[in-house]
Amino acid sequence: MHHTTTLLIEVGALLLLLGLLGRISRRFGLSPIPLYLFAGLAFGHGGLLPLSASEEFFAVGAEIGVILLLVMLGLEYTASELVGNLRAAAPAGLVDGVLNALPGAAFALLLGWGWVAAVVLAGITWVSSSGVIAKVLADLGRLGNRETPVILSVLVIEDLAMALYLPLLTAVLAGTGLIGGGIALAVAVFTVVVVLVVAIRYGNLISTMFSAKDPEALLLGVLGLTLLVAGVAAQLNVSAAVGAFLVGIALSGPVAHNATELLSPLRDLFAAVFFVFFGLATDPRDIPPVLLPALALAVITMATKVVTGYVAAKRVGIAVPGRWRAGLGLMPRGEFSIVIAGLAVATPGIEPQLAALATAYVLITVVSGPMLARIPDYPWFKKWLAGRSAARRRTALAAPD
């Protein structure tokens, strides 16, 4: 059968299946992300019916999916809001790095994998998945919640930190030494600063490039600019996600509003492709041998993420339910963790089980994270919080003056 014909059949059948899975999940009030992931596992390497012709299509579509998820998040906020949130969330970003990177590093050292593997696993457990969290926030209707800017600030700090971490990690893995790592870090810092300045100071000028009254030209222009900036950012070893997010921040007014409406269907399509590709690229046979260590690491670092989000939301005066939503919403790991593991596996001398552990770890957090993020919406959890609040009030009243 001709390659193009096979591609059309595989892509069409898988998209149709995703549509049915999405409908089923929403029928039961669940996020469709876990079902998309399991569909990818079923049709990926080592799955029930591996798909070969469409793998490259889903790889490119997955990249576009992450980019669209982040530009849509950026469109929700202005440059001034971004700067204010980043300043407020800076201490929480430090707590985030310490609480979530150290368990990964300690885990690698306990397994006897060496300090280079410890640096790698620290990055894998540190950074949350911007793509997954953006999808969860949209699915749960929380984009306008008070705690959402706190979540986004932590994510942006993580992504900016990754812009500095990845060049350093690449230098460490390549054995280029201190000078090579310093040069890579300097290039990354300069790029991040330039992109931030352009987005914040010249956002209004960028918006004037587009007309909110011409939907076709607006869609093509905003999508083209987003992909261009994301690609340039990735080429300079800065996160493509950060580049896309800053494009969204730079756009404002009617242009931002209309672009949100036009890009929403594309976001939903390619976001689903992103989650499927993650499953397609995973061989289920690699997971069982490392499942228990990955589960233990996931439990520890999911708890530390809850602490991170809770503390970050508390610092800016968010009420207790919002603090829990922020903490539980930060748990999934994803695209960055897989990129870090991929860099390490391609390096001779790195522990071969690291890739399987990272895959199992990410699957556990990315499947359970969207489910656990719904906990604050359940009546039993609200009742439990109300009971705790009442108990604290009684304790305060009973305390001697």
Radius of gyration from C-alpha coordinates of the chain? 21
The residue with greater pLDDT, 325 or 75, is 325
For residue 104, name the pLDDT band (cuts at 50, 70, 90): very high
Please report, for residues 40, 79, 86, 219, 362, the alpha-carbon distance to residue 128 in angstroms, rounded to integers and kept in the order given: 21, 22, 16, 29, 10
Q: In the predicted model, what is the mean pLDDT of the chain? A: 80
Average pLDDT over residues 11-29: 83
Burial class (CB in 10 A: 0-12, 13-18, 19+), 379: exposed
Residues 285-298: what's their mean pLDDT? 87
pLDDT reported for residue 343: 67
Cβ neighbors of 234 (< 8 A, separation 6 or more) are 240, 243
Per-residue pLDDT at 237: 63
Lowest mean pLDDT among 21-35, 313-327, 343-357: 343-357
Has this prediction a pTM greater than 0.85? Answer: no
> Taking 90 as the threshold, does the pLDDT of residue 303 lie above it?
yes
Per-residue pLDDT, 201 = 75
Q: Give the DSSP H/E element, type plus range, for residue 65.
A: helix 55-75
Q: Report how far apart the first and last C-alpha atoms of the chain are (Å, whole number).
A: 84
Percent of the chain with pLDDT over 90: 11
- Supply the pLDDT for residue 21: 87
Task: Give the integer Cα–Cα distance in Å for 342 and 275.
Answer: 17
CA distance 94 to 401: 37
Q: What is the pLDDT of residue 81?
A: 66
pLDDT tier at 2 (50, 70, 90 boundaries)? Answer: low
> What is the pLDDT, as a whole number, of residue 211?
81
Burial grade of 371 (CB within 10 A; 0-12, 13-18, 19 or more): middle
Burial of 132 (0-12, 13-18, 19+ CB in 10 A): buried
Q: For tokens 């509003």, what's the residue?
A: 257
Asked whether residue 298 carries a pLDDT value surpassing 90, the answer given is yes
Checking if the pLDDT of 220 tops 60, the result is yes
Alpha helices in 44-176 (DSSP H): 55-75, 79-110, 115-126, 130-139, 148-174
pLDDT tens digits, 106-145: 999 998 888 888 888 999 999 888 777 887 888 888 888 8
Q: What is the pLDDT of residue 163?
A: 66
More confident residue, 351 or 231: 231
Model confidence band, residue 328 (pLDDT cutoffs 50, 70, 90): very high
| Listed ranges 177-191, 287-301, 351-365; the one with the highest mean pLDDT | 287-301
Domains along the sequence of the chain with CATH = 10-47+76-379 (1.20.1530.20)
372 has pLDDT over 80: yes
pLDDT for the residue 103: 92
Mean pLDDT of 208-227: 87
Q: What does the pLDDT look like over 243-268, one tens digit per residue? A: 787 788 788 778 888 888 888 888 88
Read off the pLDDT of each residue in 89-107 and give the average, rounded to a whole number. Answer: 87
Where residue 326 falls among pLDDT bands split at 50, 70, 90?
Answer: very high
